[in-house]
């Protein structure tokens, strides 16, 4: 069985010297689907509670800029975020070369690439999994049923057990696309490579205050 401690929420470190990088992909690669991932009616296929995103097309662009306000003494580390976009360093890419469930797309233009002359990549997730245990979780919902905040987040272990491990090592939570979830094996690779910029909150410790710590 999978223990809860095997999974973490991936967040950026709240360090004042780490600037936020604003990324923009064309086409929009956040949950990018080609026709092979759609049914005959054009709807995205949900298979065993998992949705697979397509690999990026050969022709794409990834613009990366620094969000304002920029820190006075910026430190460029291995993971920078802004909303759903995650930009990672070449060192990060090398550490996770061949790691299942992700694709790295090199930045093509923007302030970070053209002015700062830094080499950063888009972290493209290939899986989205519907695996939240609503009965055990404690969440605040909007009138439209959108998750606004958490007191407790619990994953459905039975769903995860029925998905091959290589397809659940890193994924977006389908019920809340703001939540990036990684397995202990991802954390181990990150730590062994001595990367900087990310923090990992165990699922059982995640709540509405975590993002501001």
- Concatenating the DSSP letter of every residue in 78-143 gives SEEEETTEEEEEHHHHHHTTT-TTEEEEE--BSIIIIIS---EEEEEE-EEE--B-TTT-EEEE-T
pLDDT at 90: 98
Of 204 and 4, the one with more pLDDT: 204
Pairing of strands 138-141, 61-66: unpaired
pLDDT at 156: 94
Chain mean pLDDT for the chain: 90
pLDDT at 35: 72
Domain limits for position 21: 4-212
204 and 210 Cβ atoms separated by less than 8 Å: no
Of 114 and 39, the one with more pLDDT: 114
Please state the rounded mean pLDDT for residues 16-35: 89
166 and 137 Cβ atoms separated by less than 8 Å: no
Using the predicted structure, report yes or no on whether residue 2 has a pLDDT greater than 60: no
pLDDT in tens, 116-150: 999 999 999 999 999 999 899 988 888 787 888 88
pLDDT at 121: 98
Q: How far apart are the first and last CA of the chain?
A: 31
Using the predicted structure, report yes or no on whether residue 154 has a pLDDT greater than 90: yes
pLDDT in tens, 68-102: 989 999 999 999 999 889 999 999 999 999 999 99
Reported pTM: 0.91
Number of domains within the chain: 1
Maximum mean pLDDT: which of 40-44, 46-50, 173-177: 173-177
pLDDT at 44: 81
Of 25 and 209, the one with more pLDDT: 25
* Of 20, 8, 12, residue with least CA distance to 195: 12
């Amino acid at each position: 069985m999978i223990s809860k401690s095997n999974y973490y929420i991936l967040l950026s470190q709240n360090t004042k010297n780490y600037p936020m990088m604003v990324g923009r992909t064309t086409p929009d690669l956040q949950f990018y689907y080609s026709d092979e991932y759609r049914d005959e009616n054009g709807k995205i296929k949900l298979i065993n509670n998992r949705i697979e995103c397509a690999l990026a097309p050969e022709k794409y662009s990834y613009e990366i800029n620094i969000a304002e306000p920029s820190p006075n003494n910026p430190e460029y580390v291995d993971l920078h975020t802004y909303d759903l976009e995650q930009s990672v360093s070449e060192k990060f890419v090398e550490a996770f070369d061949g790691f299942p469930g992700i694709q790295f797309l090199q930045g093509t233009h923007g302030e970070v690439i053209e002015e700062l002359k830094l080499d950063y990549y888009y972290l493209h997730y290939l899986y989205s999994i519907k695996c939240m245990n609503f009965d055990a979780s404690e969440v605040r919902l909007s009138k439209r049923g959108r998750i606004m905040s958490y007191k407790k987040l619990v994953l459905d272990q039975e769903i995860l057990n029925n998905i091959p491990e290589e397809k659940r090592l890193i994924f977006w939570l389908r019920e809340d696309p703001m939540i990036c979830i990684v397995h202990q094996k991802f954390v181990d690779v990150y730590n062994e490579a001595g990367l900087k910029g990310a923090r990992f909150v165990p699922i059982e410790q995640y709540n509405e205050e975590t993002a501001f710590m």
